[in-house]
Structure 1
Amino acid sequence: MKQLLLALALLAVAKAYSQEVILEKAIPKDFEVNQIFQINDNRSEDVVLFFHGNDSIKSYLFQDDLSLKDSTTLTSLPPRYRSFIGSQFTDDSRCQLFFSTERRPFPEQPNLTNGFSSKPKFGLIIFSFLSKENTVKELELSLTKEMYLESFSSENGFIIMTIKKKSDILNFYCFDNSGKYEKVTVDCEDLTFRDWDSSKTALYDLLAIKQVAAPDIKQLTFIDTKVPYSIKSTSSLSKLYKEGNKLTFMFDVNKDYTQVLTIDIQTWEKKLSGLLKPKVESNAVGYSRKSNSFLYNGYFFGLTHLANQIKLEIKDYTTRRLVQSYLIKNNSPIEIKDSPIIIMDGPYVDYREVEKTSQFFRKLKDYNIGISVRKYKNLGYQLNIGGSIPEGQVRIPLSSSLPASNYNINPYDFGASNFAFTQTVGGRMTFIKCLFDSNFDNISGQTIESPFEKIRYYMDGKKRIASKFVLPYKNYLLLSTLTKQNHYSLIKFIK
Structure 2
Amino acid sequence: MKKFLCLLLFVQSSFLFSQQLEKVLPLNFKNTNDLFQVVEEDKKQVLLFFRDKNRVLTVKFNDKFEVLDSISSTRPPKNYDDIIGYSITNNKYYSYWSTPNNKEITTQCFDFDTKKVSLKTFNLDFEKEKPVKTITVNSIFYLITVVKSTSILNFYVFDDGNLTKKTVDLSTNRFLSYDTKTCTLWSLLNSDTGLDGSLSIQNISNDTPPSLTFSANKRKVYTNGNKLFFTFDNNKNFTQTVTINLNDFSAISKGYNQPYLLSVNYVEDESNSFYVNGKLIQMKLNENRLALSVKDMEGNELKTYEILKDKEVTFKNSDIIQENGSINKTRILDKSNQLLRKIYFEYPSMSCYYFNDIVYLTIGSVSLEKNGNGAMYGAMFGLAGVLIATAITSNYSIANLNSYKNRKVVYINCLFDKEFNHVDGEVNKLAFDKLRALSENKDDLISQSVFKFNSKLYFGGYDKQEKSYKFFSFTD
- Shorter-chain TM band: 0.7 to 0.9
- In 2, Cα distance between equivalents of 1:451 and 1:419: 17
2:283 matched to which residue of 1?
Answer: 303
Alpha-carbon separation, structure 2, partners of 1:366 and 1:395: 18
Question: Cα 1:296–1:84, aligned 2, differ >3 Å: closer, same or farther?
Answer: same
Higher mean C-alpha deviation, range 294-303 or range 33-42: 33-42
Query: Is the Cα–Cα contact under 8 Å of residues 247 and 264 in structure 1 kept in the other structure?
Result: yes
Per the TM alignment, residue 347 of structure 1 is displaced from its structure 2 partner at its CA by 4.6
Give the aligned partner of residue 32 of structure 2: 33
Would the aligned equivalents of 1:100 and 1:122 in 2 still touch at CA under 8 Å? yes
Q: Secondary structure at the match of 1:457?
A: helix
Instruction: Confirm or deny that 1:89 pairs with 2:88.
Output: yes
TM alignment of 1:314-353, pairs within 5 A: 314-317=294-297, 319-347=298-326, 350-353=329-332
- Contact 2:94/2:109, CA 8 A, preserved across alignment: yes
Residue equivalent to 1:235 = 216
By how many angstroms is 1:289 displaced? 0.9
Show the 5 A alignment for 1:260-275: 260-275=241-256
Could you tell me how far apart the structure 1 residues matched to 2:199 and 2:461 are?
29
Corresponding position: 1:57 with 2:56: yes
| RMSD of equivalent CA atoms | 2.9
Range with bigger deviation, 139-148 or 248-257: 139-148
Size of the aligned set, in residue pairs, is 449
Pairwise CA distance, 1:162:
1.4
CA contact (8 A) 2:431 2:474 kept: no
User: Structure 1-normalised TM-score?
Assistant: 0.83
Give the distance between the partners of 1:263 and 1:82, measured in 2 at CA.
30
The aligned counterpart of 1:440 is 420
- Is the CA contact 2:131–2:144 (under 8 Å) kept in the aligned structure 1? yes
String of CA shifts for 1:39-60, please: whole Å, max 9, x gaps: 1234412211122011211221
Change (3 A) 1:236 1:461: same
Paired residue for 1:107? none
Equivalent residues in 2 for 1:343-422, closer than 5 Å: 343-347=322-326, 350-378=329-357, 380-391=358-369, 392-394=377-379, 412-415=390-393, 416-422=396-402
The change in CA–CA distance for 1:427 and 1:411 in structure 2 (over 3 A counts) is farther
Flag the 1:474–1:209 CA change in 2: closer, same or farther, 3 A: farther
1:254 and 1:53, CA in 2 relative to 1: closer, same or farther beyond 3 A?
same
Change (3 A) 1:127 1:376: closer
* The one of 159, 170, 173 aligned to 1:176: 159
Match of 1:140 among 109, 123, 141: 123
Give 3-state SS (helix, strand or coil) of 1:81's partner: coil
Partner of 1:481: 461
1:163 matched to which residue of 2? 146
Supply the AA of the counterpart residue of 2:291.
K
Change in Cα spacing, 1:82 to 1:39, as seen in structure 2 (3 Å) is farther
Give the secondary-structure state (helix, strand or coil) at the position aligned to 1:358.
Answer: helix
Distance 2:308 2:144 in 1: 42
The separation in 2 between residues aligned to 1:221 and 1:135, in whole angstroms, is 31
Give the Cα–Cα distance (whole angstroms) in 2 for the partners of residues 481 and 160 of structure 1.
29
Aligned to 1:21: 22
CA shift for structure 1 position 335: 1.1
Structure 1 residues 78 and 427, CA gap change in structure 2 (3 angstroms): farther
Cα distance in 2 for partners of 1:340, 1:229 equals: 20
Q: Which residue type is aligned with residue 461 of structure 1?
A: N
Query: Where in structure 2 are the equivalents of 1:171-320 lying within 5 Å?
Result: 171-177=154-160, 179-210=161-192, 217-225=198-206, 227-285=208-266, 287-317=267-297, 319-320=298-299
Q: Which amino acid in structure 2 is aligned with residue 201 of structure 1?
A: C
Residue 75 (structure 1) shift? 2.2
Task: Kindly indicate whether the alpha-carbon contact (under 8 Å) linking 2:207 and 2:451 is maintained by their aligned counterparts in 1.
Answer: no
- Check conservation: 1:27, 1:486, Cα contact below 8 A: no
Seen in structure 2, the aligned counterparts of structure 1 residues 176 and 437 have a Cα distance that, compared at 3 Å, is closer
2:169 and 2:420 mapped to 1: Cα distance?
Answer: 38
* 1:142 to 1:487, Cα distance in 2 relative to 1, 3 A: farther
* TM-score of the aligned structures, taking structure 2 as reference length: 0.86
SS at match of 1:458: helix
Match 2:450 to one of 455, 470, 474: 470
Q: Separation in 1 of the partners of 2:278 and 2:245?
A: 17
Distance 2:105 2:290 in 1: 44
Judged with a 3 Å threshold, the aligned counterparts in structure 2 of structure 1 residues 154 and 382 are, in CA distance, closer, same or farther, namely closer
- Unaligned 5+ segments in structure 2 are 1-8, 370-376, 382-386
- Cα distance 1:479–1:383, how it changes in 2: closer, same or farther (>3 A)? same
Does the C-alpha gap of structure 1 residues 197 and 209 become closer, same or farther in structure 2, counting only changes over 3 Å? closer
Q: Deviations over 1:104-139 (max 9, x none)?
A: xxxxxxxxxxxxx55554221011223221012332
Shift of 1:82: 3.4
**Equivalent position SS for 1:360:** helix
Give 3-state SS (helix, strand or coil) of 1:478's partner: strand
